[in-house]
Each structure stands twice: as structure tokens, then as C-alpha cells.
Amino acid sequence: MAAGGPASELIMFIVAIIVAGSVAGALAYVTSDIAHGINEHGELLADKLRTDFAIINDPRNIPVDTSTDPDTYTFYIKNIGKEPIAFTGDAVQVFIDGNLIPASQLSFESVEGGSITSLQPYEVGVIKVKYNLSQGQHTITIVLENGIRRKLIFHVS
């Protein structure tokens, strides 16, 4: 103990500051992570509440193109929410009678027939589904990337 009391005091002080700084740093990291999670979860929830859409087809008269193989059915989607809707095969899932339609059998278009990737509020978009359907009643369920979904029971004659 040749260094004497002041040196050990200094060492103790430095160690205490390093330990306290490490604790503070860890706390800051964890807090930032939690705050980020809160913000993300809030945004997701707000986005879900602001997102809504409707399938606006006449259920007894779904446009169909029988010149393709399989047939191509046309469904009209209207954004009735306050947020734009991602409108691509990666973001939207389509089920017919409970069967998931692969993205390769779907096309997402504007009402003019052009390619689009999102639907602005109150805008209408077109989903063309290549699928063979028998005569009778069927159900289409459309699910957005945030889980919002709508169902239409339609009739094929």
C-alpha cells in the first residue's frame, strides 16, 4: 500500500464512475429499444385503425374473361380508409373459397389498366385473378399487409 489512501480513493472513484456509466449506458440502450418498440407498435395500431377497404363488385355479376386459361375474374377494391394501401402481390393476399391464390396468378391494376403499387384514399383499384371457378356461390377474401381483410360472397353463373 505504498501509494497510500488518495490513490486508492482515485481508483475507487474511477471504478465507481465506470460501473455507474455502464449501468447508465445499458439503461439508455434498453430504454431506447423499448421506446422504439412503443413507437412502432403505436404506428402499427394507428395504421390498422386508419386502413379500411371495400370490395365493390356486384356479387351477382363478376366480370370474367374466359379467353384466358384459367379464366380471369376482375375484382374492384376501393380504399375507404385514411391511409394509402400497398397494392401489390407481395402486400395483398387473395383467397378464393379458402385457397390462397399465388401472386403469379394475380395482377394489380389501376382502373385505366395501368400498373400501380398503392391505392390512395377513395381510389379504386383492380385485382385480376386467374382461377377456374365452377358455377355457383364462391367467397373471395382479400387480406392486406396489416391484416385488415374483407370478404365478398359472389355468384358465378
Partner 1 sequence: MGFSVSASAAIIFISFLIAATTLYTAWDNSYSDVRAAQEDWYSLKLSQLNTLSSLDIKKSSVRTGTNDKGEYYNLTLAIKSNGVTLYVPHWSGTYDGKLITLYSVDDDNVGFISDYTYLLPGDSVQLNVTYIPRDETQHTLNVVFGNGCWVRFNWYYNTTDNTVYVNTSRGCPTEVS
Query: Which residues of the shown chain bind partner 1 in the complex (CB under 8 A)?
Result: 9, 12-13, 15-17, 19-21, 23-24, 27-28, 30-32, 34-36, 38-39, 41-43, 45-50, 52-58, 60-63, 76, 78, 80-82, 111, 122, 124, 126, 141, 149-151
To partner 1, the closest distance from the beta carbon of 83 in angstroms equals: 9
Position of cell 397494392? 87
Cell numbers representing residue 43 in the block: 404506428
To partner 1, the closest distance from the beta carbon of 38 in angstroms equals: 4
Length of the chain: 157
For residue 92, which of 133, 79, 43, 82 has the smallest C-alpha distance? 79
8 A C-beta contact, residue 102 and residue 89: no
To partner 1, the closest distance from the beta carbon of 130 in angstroms equals: 18
Cell numbers representing residue 57 in the block: 363488385
Whichever of 7 and 24 has its CB closer to partner 1, that residue is 24
8 A C-beta contact, residue 72 and residue 129: yes
Whichever of 37 and 102 has its CB closer to partner 1, that residue is 37
Whichever of 79 and 106 has its CB closer to partner 1, that residue is 79
Whichever of 98 and 104 has its CB closer to partner 1, that residue is 98
To partner 1, the closest distance from the beta carbon of 2 in angstroms equals: 20
Cis peptide before 70 (omega within 30 of 0): yes
The SS3 assignment for 27 reads helix
